[in-house]
Each structure stands twice: as C-alpha cells, then as structure tokens.
Amino acid sequence: MWPGRCPASSSSTSCTTTPWAARRPSPRRPSPPRSSRPPPRRCLRSSSSRASPRARRKSPTYAAAPTEPNESRRPRMTTELVQLLTPEGRRVHHPEYAVDPSAAELRGLHRDMVLARRLDAEAVTLQRQGELALWPSLLGQEAAQIGSARALRPKDHAFPSYREHGVALVRNLDPAHLLSLFRGASNGSWDPAENNFHLYTLVIGSQALHATGYAMGVAKDGADTAVIGYFGDGASSQGDVAEAFTFGAVYDAPIVFFCQNNQWAISEPTERQMRVPLYRRAAGFGFPGVRVDGNDVLACLAVTRAALDHVRTGSGPMLVEAYTYRMGAHTTSDDPTKYRDEAEVEEWRAKDPILRLRRLLEREGHADEDWFAALDEEAETLGRRVREIVRTMPDPDPSVMFENVYADGHALVDEERARFAAYQESFVDAGRSN
C-alpha cells in the first residue's frame, strides 16, 4: 500500500547561513501584545506623534549603514536604507554600494525617468478619456524601475508584475504592447524572447515563481545570465512569493527578487502586509536582503547591479526592497483620497526621484537648460505618439479568440471556431454585415 504523505519536518529554528539574523537587534520597538495593538488606521491620523506603524513608516534611516563582521560567503545584509543621492541632489558615500556613472549615463538615467513619467501621464489621461480600460500608474516609482532596469545586462531576463512600464521602456518594449493590454485589445501580445522582458502578470505574485523557475533553468544551463523578478509589497503576502524564495534559495537560482515597496496595496498600507521590514524576510530563507532608497536612481542602480553580480556567482538569490512611494492611485479605478493622507503624499513629493537627479545634474553641471528643454520636447513627442498609437489601434479580429488557445490544436476549439465563422458568415450572406 502507498506510504502516504509526510508533513515537512521542522528541524532547527535557526538558520546557519545567516548568523547575523540572530545577532542584529531589531530597530523597531518591541511590539505590544497583538490584542493591545492600536487599530492600524483612522485613529493614527489624529495621533501622528504617537509611536505607531505610520510613524515607523515615515522614518527609515537614511544614514549609511555601519558595517558588521560577517563569516558567511554571503554578502553583508544592510539593515538600513542605502542611499547615494539625497533629495537635495547631493551625493552620499556608502561603504558597500558605489556607482560612478559618467555624465552621459547620468543624463541617460534622467531621460529614462522623464520618458517613463510622460508615458505614464499620457496613459492616465487616455484612461480618463475612455481610451484605455485601466492603467496602473508608476508615478513616483521611476527611480526604482529605471535604476534596476539599467543594472541589467542585455542577456538578463526581467519578469514584471503589471506596473513596470519604466522597465519595459528600458528593455525596448514598444509601448504599443502595454497600451493594447490596458486598452483590452490584447492580453499581452509581446514576445518575451525578443527583449528578455516577460509578460505582465496580473495575478499578484505569480511571476515570482516563473522568474525563479527560469533562473533554475539558467543555473542548469550554466549560463552567464541573471534574472530579476519584480513584485510589490502587497505581493509579499502571497504564498507564491514565499515559495519563490524557497525554491530560489534551495536551488541556488540566480535571481534578484526586486520588491518595489510603494507603501500601498490598493488601499491597504504595508502594516496590513507585514510586521517586519520586508528586506529582512530574506534572512529567514537564507539569502541576503537589502533595503534601498527607491527614489534614488543611483542607489537603485548600484544595489541592483551588486545584487545581480552576487546572484551570478551561483550563491543563490538576493532580495532588494526598493523603499518608494506610489504617488498616484493603485490604478485608475481607485481613489487614494479615500484611504490616505494628503500630508503623506506631500512628504513624498519632496523626495521626487526625477527632481532629485535633476538637481544633481544641475549642481554638477552635467546638463544645461537646452538639454532639459530638448528632453521635454522628446517627452512630448512620446506623449503624442502614445496618443496616436491608442487612438489608431484597431480592435482585434474576433477570430483571434480561437487562435493560439493550444499549440497543437484542439477539436473543441476547432469546432467552435468553425461555428463562429459560419455565424459571422450568415450576416454577410444576409447583407447585414454592417
């Protein structure tokens, strides 16, 4: 008879590969017992001076992290926010993460962010005009997306969620593909192999496993390729993300888990998703995690590049938490004024990723007014092109419904396709095709 299924054995509670996890004290104050915790919202708005999840959220440490002895082969796990560029546009030295882009590269990063923001703004407008069914805005997350995407090599693979329009632009994906998805003219349509940019994934967290499986394949091939899987703070609550961490770790897959913690999962704040800073979750799975200022494009570039280099060595995954903020709505369907304070938005407005780099470019004399003006013109051209693409986009031929359901064909699909064609044909015969 069959032996039945054994439950997973729970052996040690400590993780031998992450000694720092046990030693490093939590910067967070000890939690009160769960029953005496204040309700997480409403009351907090009127008591901002009190130590609360909101207050904690507002004060990530911006200072450089002190270094710590480390016996492991894994890189050190930085517990504080890695920052290389202050909101005022001043450079900050970080002992572990450095990047020294040329003036042209700095201008390139700025250009990418401006174009991503312009694409996004145009798409939001088009949705308001009824031309798109939905649009998830990336406003505020330009640095996290451009910095991480610019860290990729051409052969690396990116697995997006559904908001990675900036990553898509960097990977040379024609915006028409993104727009057709959100117009409802396709369900994806692009070839992931063309730019190594995989399909958007709307079910939260699913792509973390696809990225991990892909990276497992890369490891088997012995290829010099790394994989980056994007997801958000809300997705960190999904089982698939936890399972991706497990699979990535136990198979030493060359994957960077890149979480854009934009603070809100539709209307639910991060306090509804986690009680421990997200990047620290990596320690429990046996790989390093680091939190980066997600509004600092230089830090995102440096940290992601270091993370990709780390995973390329065959040492297993790395988690990067880009601490950022979604300035707009989750998608055009929700109204953030119903669930969050304008003061919070204002606070983050001061940390704007584009303004920050522009200040650096101006301060260090890398770009003049003419250059910025030319970039504005380029952005306007992109905006016009986006409008043009959407307004001239044909509806797909109805027969597309039956195409590619199966690779090898399927009798039922063939039968229904034929029936549908005959039905359509009947209108033509009756002279009522229009």
Partner 1 sequence: MVTKSLPLAKALNEALRAALESDPKVLLMGEDIGKLGGVFRVTDGLQKDFGESRVMDSPLAESGIVGTAIGLALRGYRPVVEIQFDGFVFPAYDQIVTQLAKMHARSQGKVRLPVVIRIPYGGGIGAVEHHSESPEALFAHVAGLKIVSPSTPSDAYWMLRQAIRSDDPVIFFEPKRRYWDKGDVDTDLDPGELHEARVAREGTDLTLAAYGPMVKTCLQAAVAAEEEGRSIEVVDLRSVSPIDFDTVQASVEKTGRLVVVHEAPVFFGSGAEIAARITERCFYHLEAPVLRVGGYHAPYPPARLEEEYLPGLDRVLDAVDRSLAY
Sole binder of partner 1 in the list 153, 220, 391, 419 (CB under 8 A):
220
Closest separation in Å from C-beta 415 to partner 1: 9
The count of chain residues that interact with partner 1, using the rule CB under 8 A, is 51
- Are the beta carbons of 91 and 360 closer than 8 angstroms? yes
How far is residue 284's CA from residue 303's CA, in Å, rounded to a whole number?
20
Q: Which 8-state DSSP code applies to residue 263?
A: S
Sole binder of partner 1 in the list 191, 224, 377, 425 (CB under 8 A):
191
**Contact status: 224 vs partner 1 (CB under 8 A):** no
Closest separation in Å from C-beta 401 to partner 1: 9
> At 293, which helix (H) or strand (E)?
strand 289-293
Sole binder of partner 1 in the list 115, 199, 300, 311 (CB under 8 A):
199
**Is 191 or 380 the residue whose CB approaches partner 1 more closely?**
191
Six token digits for residue 85? 């560029």
Contact flags string 380-419 toward partner 1, x per CB under 8 A? --------------------x--xxxxxx-xxxx------
Closest separation in Å from C-beta 406 to partner 1: 5
Question: What is the DSSP annotation of 69-135?
Answer: ---SSSPP---S-B-SB-TTS-B---SS------HHHHHHHHHHHHHHHHHHHHHHHHHHTTSSS--
* Count of beta carbons in the 10 Å neighbourhood of residue 315: 17
The window from 239-247, 294-302, 312-320, 372-380 that contacts partner 1 (CB under 8 A) reads: 239-247
**Contact status: 141 vs partner 1 (CB under 8 A):** no
Pairing between β-strand 318-323 and β-strand 255-261 as defined by DSSP bridges: parallel
The window from 138-146, 189-197, 257-265, 334-342 that contacts partner 1 (CB under 8 A) reads: 189-197
Six token digits for residue 203? 């079910």
Question: What is the DSSP annotation of 325-392?
Answer: ---S-SSTT--GGGTS-HHHHHHHHTT-HHHHHHHHHHHTTS--HHHHHHHHHHHHHHHHHHHHHHHT
- Are the beta carbons of 376 and 369 closer than 8 angstroms? no
The window from 57-65, 144-152, 216-224, 275-283 that contacts partner 1 (CB under 8 A) reads: 216-224
**Is 343 or 422 the residue whose CB approaches partner 1 more closely?**
422
CA angle (389 as vertex; 383, 395 as ends), nearest 5: 150
**Contact status: 5 vs partner 1 (CB under 8 A):** yes
Closest separation in Å from C-beta 385 to partner 1: 22
Closest separation in Å from C-beta 202 to partner 1: 8
Sole binder of partner 1 in the list 109, 146, 151, 216 (CB under 8 A):
216
- Interior/surface letters 109-141, b for 16+ CB within 10 angstroms, e for the rest: bbbbbbbbbbbbbbbbebbeeebbeebbbbbbb
Closest separation in Å from C-beta 216 to partner 1: 6
What are 321's strand-pairing partners?
Answer: 259, 291
**Contact status: 239 vs partner 1 (CB under 8 A):** yes
The window from 82-90, 246-254, 290-298, 307-315 that contacts partner 1 (CB under 8 A) reads: 246-254
Nearest to 164 by CA among 282, 293, 259, 46: 259
How far is residue 340's CA from residue 12's CA, in Å, rounded to a whole number?
42
**Contact status: 178 vs partner 1 (CB under 8 A):** no
Closest separation in Å from C-beta 203 to partner 1: 5
The window from 48-56, 144-152, 208-216, 379-387 that contacts partner 1 (CB under 8 A) reads: 208-216
**Contact status: 105 vs partner 1 (CB under 8 A):** no
**Contact status: 210 vs partner 1 (CB under 8 A):** yes
Q: Which value, to the nearest 10 degrees, does the dihedral of the CA atoms of residues 244, 246, 250, 255 take?
A: 30
Question: What is the DSSP annotation of 54-73?
Answer: HHHHH----SPPPP----SS
The window from 124-132, 192-200, 258-266, 338-346 that contacts partner 1 (CB under 8 A) reads: 192-200
**Is 2 or 423 the residue whose CB approaches partner 1 more closely?**
2
Closest separation in Å from C-beta 121 to partner 1: 27
Six token digits for residue 359? 């200040």
**Is 199 or 382 the residue whose CB approaches partner 1 more closely?**
199
Which parts of this chain interact with partner 1 (CB under 8 A)? 1-5, 8, 186-193, 198-199, 201, 203, 206, 208-218, 220-221, 239-240, 243-244, 246-247, 250-251, 400, 403-408, 410-413
